Structure 1
């Protein structure tokens, strides 16, 4: 996997105790050098001309409805007649937002399944551990988008099945806040907590909002040690989560080029812009805003599919691995959650209104 290395110039060696952030709600300061590599990015001016160089496939009709027994936790066998609707965070009222936050905190209060999830201290962290373990096979590969669509579904199913959540799965339209994440209704003291700014290679623990004082046990990097939920907001990075960049990536006709652009474009800049835990690739779901961010990424993919469903709904491309010899990704590639929910094939998550998934975006 190609991950951008941590820059010595960016993260510096300033003493935590010697630095005071110009941020009235700053928690304990955090040196960003403790975190793993950042997400690799694509320059905005390269978005329209970017070529992945990977193979691309449009599925033949006979493969489009081939499902496995794995769909037991998905839509009914008859298909998706009444898809759930995923609202943008602004479209939810305060009661709905609070219901979602309460369900996430419920998962954090439930015991870990243990076993396959070393270091996990709760059910939410089982998901973080899963992402940490699979990082090399779910980033910079063709299955990046299908896996994370499946991953958000697994998360949603846990909220519903284990915490009784009955509300919608929200997403965050980051194009509305590009370059201004710090004033978004998501990163607010009322909800996910504010984001202290990046200063001299330092961030800070989140000290307000629903997840103030949260201790994480998965990460930093590939480790398992106690650390706080930290952020280090860099609006020069979040500025690249803009509509023009999204549209440039979605202007590609083939999946392989679109996927590569999306992954290294707005997706990567959103992670890196929030910083600290979110920029630490493998345990990045430790920041609960991760799932709203990936709703944004998934919606952008769905919009690309909807622009030409006959040719794009089951179009796939890229490689399934990063080491030679590379193998072209196929619709039969298996996506796993290591027993949290049944495994599925890529084919089963291509249509958000199919036999397995059943949702659409508002």
Structure 2
């Protein structure tokens, strides 16, 4: 849906009617749209090239997509998994264009988490992935997001994880393990998975007589896996290390941290006071045993997703980070006076101590996208290169 139709609908029916049914952020979403409408064209956003609310791309909740739209997305992901890598000299283990995204994330992990560029780096990374799906694999849609609050009591029952042909594949098969250790040493009990993913679009039939499925193969990492039993890549982070995509979907993690209260605190509560409090709460207060929505999202999926460095191996990474970006976008729309500020240094949790991040710091994405300064990536309606909103 283009915003032109949305804009007309807003006038006729009110913004809240357009939120996807069951979205506990619907009121915040409506307030964000109204705030953006109020400043459209008044110069608040500065020079914006040709991007407006009328022509911006619209990113939507996975649960709101039709079956054919979901299949188009996963088909494009599978296409990217077959395209040859552009980074084999740098990442000898890379075998596909998908692996190029994994390699870029692994290589920069310690300078893109707990840093002043965390939000904009992952915003641009997700945008580059969306563009690769569209330009290299013929995808006509836009990057969907995983609404953390839907099915939070048991994510494995959600349309995203139910293992159907219109899902992002399901849980891993059961494999005994001793749980996982997340940020700050928080222990996460083992779930009903832990092994290879064998259902949905990222599983492949491998026997012509019997219906036997195998998981998609991942090649890079792990570097620092959180889940018990997943061994570190013996050849190094970017060496060839083929294995199955594994998951251990954790309702326990979802129930503990993916609460409406925690997400609303980020957008309209105490944590929304400024960019520093917002991003610190989002990424987690590990000293307090609080994972935050970013870290807990990775540990809800678990398995390959439990590795801070190589969590990108799981295709749900990009739906999770689209939701991270949606929450950032909501916060920006509701706090326009703070929206384009940044805070933090250029090393993870300022270790080792480093200077503050600056607006002219480059966000490195090559070869997946041209490198850009942080200042180009603060506004999703800036037009160069970003032009999108969330519904």
User: Does the alignment reach a TM-score above 0.5?
Assistant: yes
Give the secondary-structure state (helix, strand or coil) at the position aligned to 1:340.
Answer: coil
Quote the residue 1:201 is aligned against.
178
C-alpha spacing 1:198/1:318, structure 2 compared with 1 (3 Å): farther
Give the secondary-structure state (helix, strand or coil) at the position aligned to 2:305.
Answer: coil
- State the Cα distance separating 1:65 from its structure 2 match: 5.6
Q: Quick one: distance in 1 between partners of 2:238 and 2:175? A: 23
Quote the residue 1:282 is aligned against.
309
Q: Quick one: distance in 2 between partners of 1:233 and 1:260? A: 25
1:219-230 to structure 2, matched below 5 A, reads 219-221=221-223, 222=237, 224=239, 225-230=241-246
Quote the residue 1:78 is aligned against.
50
Q: Quick one: distance in 2 between partners of 1:235 and 1:182? A: 8
Q: Quick one: distance in 2 between partners of 1:138 and 1:176? A: 28
Quote the residue 2:344 is aligned against.
318
C-alpha spacing 1:332/1:122, structure 2 compared with 1 (3 Å): same
Quote the residue 2:93 is aligned against.
119
For the pair 1:351 / 2:379, whether they are aligned, the reply is yes
Structure 1 unmatched ranges of 5 or more: 1-61, 67-75
Give the secondary-structure state (helix, strand or coil) at the position aligned to 1:109.
Answer: coil
2:276 pairs, out of 248, 256, 261, with: 256
Q: Quick one: distance in 2 between partners of 1:65 and 1:110? A: 39
Q: Deviations over 1:281-322 (max 9, x none)?
A: 11111100111111111101111111121x122121111223
Quote the residue 1:103 is aligned against.
76
Give the conservation status (yes or no) of the 8 Å contact 1:131–1:283: yes
Q: Deviations over 1:103-162 (max 9, x none)?
A: 111100110012333311000110011111111111111211111000000101101111
Query: TM-score normalized by structure 1?
Result: 0.76
- State the Cα distance separating 1:236 from its structure 2 match: 1.4
Q: Quick one: distance in 2 between partners of 1:127 and 1:243? A: 31
Q: Quick one: distance in 2 between partners of 1:179 and 1:330? A: 40
Q: Quick one: distance in 2 between partners of 1:314 and 1:223? A: 34
Quote the residue 1:73 is aligned against.
none
Structure 2 unmatched ranges of 5 or more: 1-42, 180-193, 204-214, 224-236, 285-291
Provide runs of 4+ in structure 1 moved above 4 Å. 62-66
How many pairs were matched up? 291
Quote the residue 1:216 is aligned against.
218
Give the conservation status (yes or no) of the 8 Å contact 2:92–2:238: no
Q: Quick one: distance in 2 between partners of 1:91 and 1:153? A: 20
1:1-362 to structure 2, matched below 5 A, reads 77-80=49-52, 82-113=55-86, 114-190=88-164, 191-196=167-172, 199-201=176-178, 203-212=194-203, 213-221=215-223, 222=237, 224=239, 225-239=241-255, 240-250=257-267, 251=269, 252=271, 253-264=273-284, 265-309=292-336, 311-321=337-347, 322-355=350-383, 356-362=385-391
Q: Quick one: distance in 2 between partners of 1:136 and 1:280? A: 13
Q: Deviations over 1:187-245 (max 9, x none)?
A: 12112221146753271100111112111101111353111100012211122112211
Q: Quick one: distance in 1 between partners of 2:308 and 2:168? A: 20
Q: Quick one: distance in 1 between partners of 2:345 and 2:378? A: 17
Give the conservation status (yes or no) of the 8 Å contact 2:112–2:118: yes
Q: Quick one: distance in 2 between partners of 1:299 and 1:121? A: 31
Q: Deviations over 1:160-183 (max 9, x none)?
A: 111111112111111112231111
Q: Quick one: distance in 2 between partners of 1:333 and 1:179? A: 40
- State the Cα distance separating 1:339 from its structure 2 match: 2.4
Larger RCO, structures 1/2 (Cα 8 Å, 6+ apart):
1
